């Protein structure tokens, strides 16, 4: 793939804009809250698009296109099973607690609901996870640019990290969020022509269905048994593992996404943020799953004349991660090629910035202010937040170089995510809906859940991964293994939390107001029009999602 002046010009314009956004936002940054939490002053459309963009990093984009090519239309489960329902649950049930408690972060909410040690455990594990994610984003960007454009790996790492550092250091969370929204439009508008042209080339959806195996074009029909579908999992594992544990664990408790809703101007906007975000999320498979399905169709013998190929992985298989870059290279001419590459760069950098801004908030509020230096001036914490931003970027660079030793970044991310986020939703579910849950129960439950995740991974083997303790049980696919690890950790956390809570003393009701469902006044929006209310929007989203599942059954 060779870039020309026009392509470079587009990339340079993008870099200038993201840095420019940093300088514009810098003038608004006066306090640590402005820098780390955006001062709860962001319009709904921005919080909603930032909410969805936080999950639209390049790993997700490249990973979903790759999964579309590998597993077919079943990949839509990550959206229509593994996202929309959890987003609706977050908006309707959980945002009133997050927003109403005035907590500045998810770990801080855990402190309010439970105790200091539960916050500490979550804050430290989350901080480590964000740095890993950010570093892997950086590594993946540099690797991609090295492979497709032959750019120097080190230069790409330092250039991308430098630009992210400038705009996050200047404008903090607001700057990161503004660039996430720009990235959202770049990805959607930048990849739409690719989908249209490639779909036309493949003969439309009807031809795709004719040319591919039926299990590649049905979302549910072949889910009865793990052996009968390309993903290697049955519908029960999918619904519980992905649709419940992983999905709710990520969308409802991961501070990176919840932080976007917490920036909203008021409770109603905070509740509607994940609901409005669910609308584009519902249609995102058109941009990130369909290209993968089209790519594998174009490789069928009937369409050999089109001359498209997914690159080989060197072991006789296909390097599915390169599906999207291969499509861009095949269909985009000079000019639009620059747009496509910029969209990829934007998603990598935005993913990194999102993690760094979540890291600096959690480090400043939940680690530094809570355990090291209390009761200092706001200016002090603003400076600490900025230093944490630089430190986060430097840790990310270090992680990126460490990641060169791993050959599958997505596996690694899923693994870290399963260990940390898998069990967390059980803590929140019990904490928010069972007032008897205690701080000791939450802490030991989280710890037991995380250890159970590690043990399950160590005892199961899938596609050569895991089994580092003893390969006791073999699972068809790495994805199935991730679902099982998350499910076991959730169940262990759930049971441990209940048992320990029953033997320890709960907080009095007076301390749990606004933190537990039964003791919290529900927000009502009787004065609003129906489309401004939370529940009607939620019902429409659920019905629409069920219809989409039915259409592609």
Partner 1 sequence: MYKKLSNLGFVIGIFFIIISLILIIGGLVSSALAYKLNFYTGFSFLLFGIVMSFFNSNSGQHKEK
Give contact residues for partner 1 (rule: CB under 8 A).
4, 6, 9-10, 13-14, 17, 20-21, 24-25, 27-28, 30, 39, 41-43, 45-46, 174, 178, 181-182, 185, 189, 193, 197, 331-336, 338-339
Q: What are phi and psi of 473, to 5 degrees?
A: -140, 135
Task: Mark out the alpha helices in 371-527 (DSSP H runs).
Answer: 378-403, 409-433, 439-459, 478-502
Output 10 or 367, the one with its CB closest to partner 1. Answer: 10
Which is closer to partner 1, CB of 192 or CB of 213? Answer: 192
Q: Which conformational region is residue 463 in: left (phi greater than 0), alpha (psi within -120 to 50 degrees), or beta?
A: left
Q: How far is the CB of 16 from partner 1 (least distance, A)?
A: 10
User: By C-beta, is 189 or 539 nearer to partner 1?
Assistant: 189
Phi-psi map region of 52: left, alpha, beta (phi>0 left; psi -120 to 50 alpha): alpha
Q: Minimum Å distance from CB 462 to partner 1?
A: 41
For residue 473, the cross-strand partners are 460
User: Which residue lies nearer to partner 1 by CB, 8 or 470?
Assistant: 8
Our measurement of the distance from residue 54's CA atom to the centroid of its chain's CA atoms, rounded to an integer in Å, reads 6
Distance CA 138, CA 395 (A): 11
- Segments in 312-335 forming alpha helices (H): 323-331
| CA angle centred on 386, ends 380 and 389, rounded to 5° | 140
CB of 187 to partner 1, least distance (A): 13
Say which residues have a Cβ less than 8 Å from residue 320's Cβ, sequence separation at least 6: 66, 67, 69, 70, 292, 310
Q: Which is nearer to partner 1, 6 or 495 (CB)?
A: 6
SS3 for 264?
Answer: strand
| Shortest distance (Å) from residue 168 CB to partner 1 | 16
Q: In the bound complex, what is the minimum distance in angstroms from residue 549's beta carbon to partner 1?
A: 31
Q: Which is nearer to partner 1, 192 or 528 (CB)?
A: 192
Rounded Cα–Cα distance for residues 96 and 520 (Å) = 9
Cβ 58 to partner 1, closest distance in Å? 19
Nearer to partner 1, 13 or 502 (CB): 13
Instruction: List CB contacts of 44: < 8 A, sequence separation 6 or more.
Output: 264, 265, 269, 272, 273, 276
* Between 83 and 345, CB nearer to partner 1: 345
Compute the least distance from the CB of residue 174 to partner 1, in Å: 7
Q: How far is CA 413 from each of CA 16, 63, 132, 137, 409, rounded to the nearest angstrom? A: 30, 11, 8, 10, 6
Q: How far is the CB of 175 from partner 1 (least distance, A)?
A: 11
């Amino acid at each position: 793939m060779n870039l020309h002046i026009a392509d470079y010009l587009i990339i340079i314009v993008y870099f200038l804009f993201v840095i420019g956004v940093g300088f514009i936002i810098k003038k608004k940054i006066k306090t640590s809250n402005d820098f780390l939490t955006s001062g709860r002053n962001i319009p709904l459309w921005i919080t909603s698009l930032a909410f969805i963009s936080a999950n639209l990093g390049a790993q997700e984009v490249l990973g979903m296109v790759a999964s579309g090519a590998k597993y077919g239309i079943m990949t839509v489960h990550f959206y229509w099973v593994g996202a929309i329902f959890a987003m609706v649950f977050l908006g309707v049930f959980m945002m009133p607690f997050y927003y109403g408690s005035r907590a500045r972060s998810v770990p801080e909410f855990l402190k309010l609901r439970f105790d200091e040690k539960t916050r500490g455990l979550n804050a430290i594990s989350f901080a480590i996870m964000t740095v890993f994610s950010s570093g892997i984003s950086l590594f993946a960007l540099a690797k991609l640019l090295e492979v497709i454009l032959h750019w120097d790996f080190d230069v790409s790492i330092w250039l991308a990290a430098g630009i992210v550092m400038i705009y996050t250091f200047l404008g903090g969370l607001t700057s990161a969020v503004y660039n996430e929204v720009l990235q959202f439009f770049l990805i959607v508008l930048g990849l739409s022509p690719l989908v249209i042209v490639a779909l036309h080339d493949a003969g439309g959806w009807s031809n795709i269905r004719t040319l591919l195996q039926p299990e590649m074009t049905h979302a549910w029909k072949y889910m009865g048994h793990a052996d009968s579908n390309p993903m290697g999992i049955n519908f029960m594992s999918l619904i519980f593992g992905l649709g419940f544990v992983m999905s709710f664990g990520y969308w409802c408790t991961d501070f990176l996404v919840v932080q976007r809703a917490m920036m909203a101007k008021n409770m109603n906007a905070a509740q509607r943020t994940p609901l409005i975000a669910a609308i584009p999320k519902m249609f995102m498979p058109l941009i990130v799953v369909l290209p993968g399905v089209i790519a594998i169709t174009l490789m069928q013998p009937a369409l050999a004349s089109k001359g498209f190929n997914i690159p080989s992985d060197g072991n006789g298989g296909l390097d599915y991660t390169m599906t999207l870059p291969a499509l861009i290279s095949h269909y985009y001419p000079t000019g639009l090629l620059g747009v496509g590459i910029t969209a990829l760069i934007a998603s990598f950098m935005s993913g990194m910035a999102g993690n760094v801004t979540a890291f600096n908030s959690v480090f400043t509020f939940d680690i530094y202010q809570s355990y090291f230096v209390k009761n200092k001036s706001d200016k002090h914490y603003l400076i600490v937040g900025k230093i944490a931003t630089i430190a986060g970027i430097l840790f990310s660079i270090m992680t990126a170089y460490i990641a060169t030793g791993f050959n599958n970044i997505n596996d690694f991310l899923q693994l870290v995510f399963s260990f940390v986020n898998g069990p967390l939703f059980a803590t929140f579910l019990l904490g928010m809906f069972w007032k008897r849950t205690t701080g000791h129960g939450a802490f030991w439950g989280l710890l037991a859940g995380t250890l159970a995740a590690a043990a399950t991974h160590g005892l199961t083997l899938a596609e050569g991964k895991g089994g580092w303790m003893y390969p006791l049980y073999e699972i068809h696919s790495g994805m199935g293994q991730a679902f099982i690890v998350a499910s076991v950790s959730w169940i262990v956390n759930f049971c441990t939390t209940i048992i320990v809570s029953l033997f320890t003393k709960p907080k009095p009701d007076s301390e749990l107001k606004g933190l537990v469902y039964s003791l919290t006044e529900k927000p009502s929006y009787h004065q609003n029009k129906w489309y401004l209310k939370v529940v009607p929007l939620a019902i429409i989203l659920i019905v629409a999602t069920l219809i989409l599942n039915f259409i592609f059954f």
